[in-house]
Amino acid sequence: MNNGRLWGSIATTLLGLCLSGCTVDEKCDALSACGGNVMLGADKDFVLNDGLVDAEYWAYRGDECQDELFTPPAQNTLLAQPTHLAREVPPERSSADWCQNLVIRSDRTIKRVNLWFPEIPLRDAKLTFSAPDQGSYMGSYQIQFNYSKAMRADFSKQCMEAQGVVFATQELRDSTGKILDHGCEEFSHAMSTVLKTEPNVSSVECHPGPQEGCSCIYNMLIVTGVTGAWRRKPDSSLMVLYDDLDTPPAPADYCAQASGELDMTGHDRTWLWNQQGLRTLKFKRSTCTDHKQNEGEGGVDCGGPCPNACP
């Protein structure tokens, strides 16, 4: 073909255009990274009482960007299985148990149930920096993450009947009219009882649900914290966060502004404080006008560092 060069040029151009324009957008864009002084304006020691001033920041739901990670449930059926012999087909992989790994003892108390799915989002986080000691480059910090979500777990009828739960479309009563069994009510009671000892779960209620079984709703709250030391290079926007558990350092790009806003982004797409999937957080400095009791205040926006004394 005489026009070979022409077509070759067109093809090359199109290929180049495609290659340059086909990247997929990231879910979490990096926040600003201007560096700055996270201790700006701090003049009180209200956390450790160690003579070093502290600065407190808060972030709330919506201020974070987390990767939408999915941690598949453990393949329970594959645990502790004997090694299969040559030419023996190994057990197939499976998805998850319709019964949430429920195990009910013979006395009808619940021995085990897995209520940890799906992933629980961040509710808020409190970050407190303590200034570096004189002559030191490293200060200390502590951060508390609160994750919460209203959750739901469905238990099918077959699943519960296999565990000895008796279902009836009508309440089962004895001759005196006392309710003997009502499927979900009893199950709800058993769930509440067993989960009383579980600090992360509250407000358990079970009602008739899909697949003729019970649907339980509950609140899940997970509180976790990290303490450690922070260090920043002078004239740099990179802060390195060490924790007291000696996990690998978590470098972060940050921007602390005079307005009290603090942007933090996991450096090089790493997770902030090694929290799973946590890529960015936008903090705000605690003030005496934020309608919250924080930063050593005696009440809401009064006492402590605030000019207004508490009534």
Taking residues 182 to 221 in sequence order and writing x for each that binds other proteins by CB under 8 A, - otherwise, the string is ----------------------------xxxx--------
Q: State both tokens at 290.
A: 């934020």
Count of residues of this chain found to bind other proteins when the rule CB under 8 A is applied: 65
Instruction: Calculate the CA 85 to chain-centre distance.
Output: 41
Taking residues 77 to 116 in sequence order and writing x for each that binds other proteins by CB under 8 A, - otherwise, the string is xxxxxx--------xxxxxxxxxxxxxx------xx-x--
Angle at 82 between CA 78 and CA 83, to 5 degrees: 95
Closest CA to 53 of 39, 65, 67: 39
Looking at the Cβ atoms of 14 and 180, the one nearer to other proteins is 14
Taking residues 140 to 169 in sequence order and writing x for each that binds other proteins by CB under 8 A, - otherwise, the string is ------------xxxxxxxx--xx------
Considering only residues 5, 24, 248, 259, which one is a binding residue for other proteins as defined by CB under 8 A? 24
CB 99 within 8 A of CB 76: no
CB 265 within 8 A of CB 33: yes
Minimum Å gap between C-beta 62 and other proteins is 17
Q: Rounded distance, CA 108 to CA 187, Å?
A: 9
Instruction: Return the bridge partners of 160, or none.
Output: none
277 binds other proteins (CB under 8 A): yes
Residues in the chain: 311
Binding site for other proteins (CB under 8 A): 1, 3-4, 7, 10-11, 14-15, 18-19, 22-24, 26-27, 67-73, 75-82, 91-104, 111-112, 114, 117-118, 152-159, 162-163, 210-213, 269, 277
